[in-house]
Amino acid sequence: MGPAQLVAPSPWLRFSLLPILGCSMRATELHLVTLRQPPAEADIASHRWLVRGGFIRRVTAGVYAYLPLMWRVLRKVEAIIREEMDGTGALELRLPALQPAELWRRSGRWDTYTAGEGIMFNLRDRQGRELGLGPTHEEVITTIAADLIRSYRQLPVSFYQLQTKFRDEIRPRFGLMRGREFIMKDAYSFHGNEEDLRCYYRIMDGAYGRIFSRCGLKVLAVQADSGAIGGAASQEFMAVAEAGEDLVLSSGDGRYAANQERAQSLPSPPVPLGVAEDRLFATPGQASIEAVCGAHGLNPSQTLKVLLHRACFAHGPHQPVLTVLRGDQEVNTVKLINVLSSLLADRGTLLALERLDADALNNHGLQLPVGFLGPDLPDHAIEGAPNLMGSFVRIVDATAADLAGFVCGANVVDQHRRVPGWSALDVSFTRADVRAAQPGDRCCHDPHVVLTATRGIEVGHIFQLGRKYSTALEANFTTEGGGSEPMWMGCYGIGVSRLAQAAVEQNHDDKGILWPLSIAPFEVVISVANGQEQEQRQLAEGLYGELGAAGVDVLLDDRPERAGVKFKDADLLGIPWRVVVGRDAAKGQIELKQRSKSQALTMASSQLLGKLLPQLQRQRQGMVPEEGV
């Protein structure tokens, strides 16, 4: 029979009796459900801890419920984002998630996002109208801007929203890292000229740096590919983490960092190969570069690698593509897609690029000497294949094009060929950079510096879109001179829910999460070691009231659990500061401990606020606490 029952006979009554204490809360009211065992669904640390700590629950593949603890974290992240966005002059609004296909057809993205990548959830309503759930909002905001903005006098303007986004990911994974429904901050800016866009882009760049740093994340800003969204300059913000899905290549001198999709580097020089005359030689069963090199004492850089692809465009037949790289290089499909897109711009959007390996060729009804292909593979080799029309688009990477003599396949099984130079081959190529930069490659800006690899989680991406969408959607404004021009646009995204999980990925140990204070669900937890002791309860209640009144987000762990359980849970939840009210409560003494430290500090309870508040102030501004606490 606890005293609580005397005060509040109905569990609902207590709400009307609650004093207003900021965002403080009692564990008995929080509906805290932690798991002792790691869930089977989770594969990476941050996912495991978020589920074990009772922050999130999976509803279906790639779709999560944010439980009250997580919601507190997300609200704090959002608050930081709002402050920084408002600081750039951006205006918050909220756009619909449900969008008409018509808008996406006007920008030309409906097919890419539904038929092509298939990333947009789409549906027909009862009248047969086609709709999509927004994976991004360029179309809607551009239409609105076109409606609102008439004159250069109204520019520039920037809108942002915090909203649920939908993407039908082929393989959702890692909890909130790659979900099919997630929270995103997206901002869109409109400008009268390109210089103004560039200027605001730099302002956003700065705001992004502050947002991530205030959220306690270690983030690398890297050059990025613009992808399906289009546009010119673009930069990604990568939270450094082993579990990250992206590979970042950066130079030790800090002057260059790029997503591997985009990264450029100097290839290693090839081992020279003098070829006196063009001749065939037998390579029985040697269908790989390694096999040929091993058997004939060659270096891979003395050979050519030939890859076949099938490019599916929105208009026109499927295009066969033949790509040549130096034997020691790998293709970068993102670069290849970009090259093909611009080369065949009249075919519309490139919907898919399928690699034609031996199996795929078989499925297309073709028998080619795979493993023995040469750059001069004749066009008639693919005649009769129902899904491949016309002649090859032939692309040669610079590394291959620059070779004087080389070894390549002879287009005959078990035959390779020594070729004295490209002039010996009677075919023409488009020269392009389609090779993947690799860690260890020399940097373009300084050949003495090599690229190193870091894995990262993309938590933000900013783009200078230019006038792609404003042109397609006729978002024009009247210029000072009285003419009419499409507006210049930028867009700026932050994966809010992903950011929160990235923070966990960067800040955990074997006991649980270590939230950065600025986004922790609570700043302080008061653990009552033994809730049956009158002195402990009273002292804890007093401190709870004081901290709450001082504007601290404090959790009072008043559950009827043993001390060990409360300590384990406090560590699991990752609350940055813990106040233990325990055996010395009768003497008015308490313990103060940081989640990240093993040492606790014993002090009189009257000293707590004086010690703690200045430290909290520092940490809220993104600084580390002083030593000795």
Partner RNA sequence: CGGGGCGUAGCGCAGUUUGGUAGCGCGCUUGCUUUGGGAGCAAGAUGUCGCAGGUUCAAAUCCUGUCGCCCCGACCA
Binding residues (CB under 7 A) for RNA: these are: 34-41, 43, 52, 58, 60-62, 117, 119, 135-137, 165, 169-174, 178, 184, 186, 224, 227-229, 236, 245, 333-334, 337, 353, 355, 458, 461, 491, 493, 495, 511, 529-530, 532, 562-565, 567-572, 580-584, 591, 593, 600
**Please, which residue, 177 or 408, has the CB nearer to RNA?**
177
> Residue 397 CB, nearest distance to RNA (Å)?
17
**Please, which residue, 337 or 381, has the CB nearer to RNA?**
337
**Please, which residue, 296 or 511, has the CB nearer to RNA?**
511
Per DSSP (E only), the strands in 467-532 are 476-478, 484-486, 488-495, 508-509, 512-513, 524-528
**Please, which residue, 602 or 621, has the CB nearer to RNA?**
602
> Residue 477 CB, nearest distance to RNA (Å)?
23
- CA atoms of 111 and 464, how far apart (whole Å): 23
- CA atoms of 474 and 459, how far apart (whole Å): 31
| Dihedral of the alpha carbons of 42, 48, 50, 53, in degrees to the nearest 10 | 130
Nearest to 233 by CA among 462, 412, 76, 512: 462
Structure tokens at 321: 């593509």
**Please, which residue, 117 or 523, has the CB nearer to RNA?**
117
> Residue 53 CB, nearest distance to RNA (Å)?
8
> Residue 79 CB, nearest distance to RNA (Å)?
20
Which residues have CB under 8 Å from 475's CB, separation 6+?
142, 143, 145, 146, 149, 190, 469, 486, 487, 489
Q: Which helix (H) or strand (E) holds 107?
A: helix 101-107
Torsions phi, psi for 195 (to 5 deg): -65, -40
- CA atoms of 587 and 79, how far apart (whole Å): 40
| Matching residue, tokens 């606020």 | 609
**Please, which residue, 165 or 418, has the CB nearer to RNA?**
165
CB 488 within 8 A of CB 196: yes
Reduced DSSP (H G I as helix, E B as strand, rest coil) percent helix, strand, coil of the chain, to 5:
30, 30, 40
- CA atoms of 173 and 61, how far apart (whole Å): 8
> Residue 111 CB, nearest distance to RNA (Å)?
14
> Residue 324 CB, nearest distance to RNA (Å)?
18
How many Å is the Cα radius of gyration of the chain? 30
- CA atoms of 149 and 141, how far apart (whole Å): 12
**Please, which residue, 184 or 211, has the CB nearer to RNA?**
184
> Residue 253 CB, nearest distance to RNA (Å)?
26
> Residue 416 CB, nearest distance to RNA (Å)?
27
**Please, which residue, 171 or 380, has the CB nearer to RNA?**
171
